Amino acid sequence: MSTAVREAAVAYDVARIRRDFPILATEVYGKPLVYLDNAASAQKPLAVIDAERDVYEKCYANIHRGVHWLSVHATDAYDAAREKTRRFMNAREAHEILFLRGTTEAVNLVAQTYGRAHVGAGDEILITGLEHHSNIVPWQMLCEEKGARLSVVPLDETGDIDLDVLERMLTPRTKLVSVAHLSNALGTILPVKRIAALAHARGIPVLVDGAQAIPRMPVDVQDLDCDFYAFSSHKIYGPTGVGVLYGKTALLEAMPPWQGGGDMIRSVTFEKTTFNALPYKFEAGTPNIAGGIAFGAALDYVSAIGLDRIAAHEHDLLAYATGKVSAIDGLTIIGTAREKAGVLSFVLDGVHPHDIGTVLDREGIAIRTGHHCAQPVMDRYGLPATARASFGLYNTRGEVDALVAAIHKVIGMFR
């Protein structure tokens, strides 16, 4: 190991990392931008921005079609991104990686293919009380169509679930379990490996919504042994409009295709169409080619830093921030599960989150206020909304201090 590599392995050089993200130099109302809305979407490093521009400048053409030089090169780059994704999440085969538009499309794909084929009247789909709307509504639509039932594992006061309760809710009618790896509204980490083991003991497949977990912790789908894993590129510092559905080969093989069109077929006559092999069976139409290639660059970028080191950095920030804001009079943290990552939701006595958001914005601090597309979570706590700070690999303790100072400013104004 060279000295430089050894040093990099020791020190987490956040100042250097920040220089990779041009947008972080932005000033907002004359103040340095403090971007704490990473759970909504993460900013992009130069490596990603350059990769996308490079595609259009140097090797853009449609993929899987042309015999010409450009098409071959674009196809190679796109396939390379799929292989990077396979390696990143330790899937067995690259064809188990479907490139889609995002987590939402991935969940809908499973609902509309696996779900429609396997869920019938009186059957059950099991989710938890902390799910994002994108892991609720597709199942409600399926249940509505099939006369099936959506079962919801309740949240305790800390925003966690009880595995014994979950286990008891697995019934002979349960056809699928679909759970978040990490809650976007509360920061709770769910023990998805143990959930998968409990479900598999009853022959029930498990989908994991990894939208928030994928940029915040190492994910190994073989170790988790989940059947599906869904996430979005834009949350892991890649472009919007690109997402991944991992699925085990046997399940994907057996599933009917979803959208019909080009690229997903082997041969078409007016009498009969035969479908293409995995992953193309589920990838009808021209995909987001440049976005997919740049997404590969984002995976390279975070891999070079190391997900375990990113996780440790964000853990430090969350612990530091939790300690600091807990000391603020009248502030309540929403979501206090034992295992948490990246997300700090809170409310302030006598101040609406929307007003907190506006005042913080004028301090250059970007947080999210609202229901975070998780209205059932808000209902669980009897709140219309919370304020949420969420961390990324480039945030600093100094930014947490700025957040805390701005919250004191809010209190000074409204109390």
Partner 1 sequence: MSSDLRDLYQEVILDHSKKPRNFHAMPDPDRKAEGYNPLCGDRETVFLDLEGEVLKDVSFQGAGCAISTASASMMTESVKGKTRAEADALFERFHDLITGKPEAAGSPDLGKLTVFSGVREYPVRVKCATLPWHTLKAALDGEGAPVSTESEGPAAESGGA
Measured from the CB atom, the residue of 320 and 414 that comes closer to partner 1 is 414
When binding is defined by CB under 8 A, the residue of 5, 29, 121, 327 that contacts partner 1 is 29
Q: Helix crossing, 289-305 with 307-326: angle to 10°?
A: 80
When binding is defined by CB under 8 A, the residue of 370, 396, 401, 404 that contacts partner 1 is 370
Please tell me the distance from the alpha carbon of residue 175 to that of residue 116, in angstroms, as a whole number: 11
**Residue 19 neighbours by CB under 8 Å, 6+ apart:** none
Sign of the alpha-carbon torsion through 11, 12, 15, 17: positive
CB of 358 to partner 1, least distance (A): 7
**Any bridge partners for residue 345, and if so which?**
334, 388
Per CB under 8 A, the segment of 37-45, 149-157, 251-259, 286-294 that binds partner 1 is 37-45
353 part of the interface to partner 1, by CB under 8 A: yes
Measured from the CB atom, the residue of 236 and 278 that comes closer to partner 1 is 236
Per CB under 8 A, the segment of 110-118, 256-264, 293-301, 378-386 that binds partner 1 is 378-386
Which amino acid, residue 170? L
Q: Which tokens is 141 given?
A: 């639509």
Measured from the CB atom, the residue of 41 and 332 that comes closer to partner 1 is 41
Measured from the CB atom, the residue of 29 and 270 that comes closer to partner 1 is 29
When binding is defined by CB under 8 A, the residue of 358, 397, 405, 408 that contacts partner 1 is 358
When binding is defined by CB under 8 A, the residue of 8, 28, 33, 40 that contacts partner 1 is 40
CB of 386 to partner 1, least distance (A): 10
373 part of the interface to partner 1, by CB under 8 A: yes
Active site residue 143: no
Phi and psi, residue 221, nearest 5°: -70, -25
**CA-CA distances (angstroms) from residue 307 to 197, 216, 219, 255, 401?**
24, 7, 9, 32, 25
Give the CA count within 13 Å in the CB-facing half-sphere of 240: 4
- Residue among 142, 181, 145 at smallest CA distance from 161: 181
383 part of the interface to partner 1, by CB under 8 A: yes
Sign of the alpha-carbon torsion through 327, 328, 332, 334: negative
From 59, 143, 226, 373, active-site residue: 373
Could you say which residues in the range 171-190 bind partner 1, by CB under 8 A? Answer: 184
Measured from the CB atom, the residue of 39 and 119 that comes closer to partner 1 is 39
44 part of the interface to partner 1, by CB under 8 A: no
Please tell me the distance from the alpha carbon of residue 209 to that of residue 212, in angstroms, as a whole number: 8
When binding is defined by CB under 8 A, the residue of 127, 385, 400, 407 that contacts partner 1 is 385
- Residue among 88, 16, 41 at smallest CA distance from 394: 16
Could you say which residues in the range 65-104 bind partner 1, by CB under 8 A? Answer: 104
Please tell me the distance from the alpha carbon of residue 179 to that of residue 269, in angstroms, as a whole number: 40
When binding is defined by CB under 8 A, the residue of 352, 366, 396, 401 that contacts partner 1 is 352
DSSP letter at 240?
T
When binding is defined by CB under 8 A, the residue of 16, 53, 194, 354 that contacts partner 1 is 354
384 part of the interface to partner 1, by CB under 8 A: yes
Contacts 24+ apart (CB under 8 A), 383-387: 383/334, 383/347, 385/352, 385/353, 385/354, 386/185, 386/334, 386/345, 386/346, 386/347, 386/353, 387/345, 387/346, 387/347, 387/348, 387/353, 387/356, 387/357, 387/360
- Residue among 195, 291, 283, 300 at smallest CA distance from 247: 283
Could you say which residues in the range 195-214 bind partner 1, by CB under 8 A? Answer: 211-212
Per CB under 8 A, the segment of 39-47, 50-58, 113-121, 192-200 that binds partner 1 is 39-47
Per CB under 8 A, the segment of 279-287, 311-319, 325-333, 406-414 that binds partner 1 is 406-414
**CA-CA distances (angstroms) from residue 86 to 73, 89, 215?**
20, 6, 15
Q: How many residues bind partner 1 (CB under 8 A)?
A: 33
When binding is defined by CB under 8 A, the residue of 50, 225, 355, 401 that contacts partner 1 is 355
378 part of the interface to partner 1, by CB under 8 A: yes
CB of 85 to partner 1, least distance (A): 20
Give the DSSP per-residue string, 166-189: HHHT--TTEEEEEEESB-TTT-BB
Measured from the CB atom, the residue of 334 and 378 that comes closer to partner 1 is 378
Please tell me the distance from the alpha carbon of residue 131 to that of residue 110, in angstroms, as a whole number: 16
Q: Which residues bind partner 1 (CB under 8 A)?
A: 29, 39-41, 104, 132, 184, 211-212, 235, 350-355, 358-359, 362, 368-373, 378, 383-385, 409, 412-414
Catalytic residue list: 373
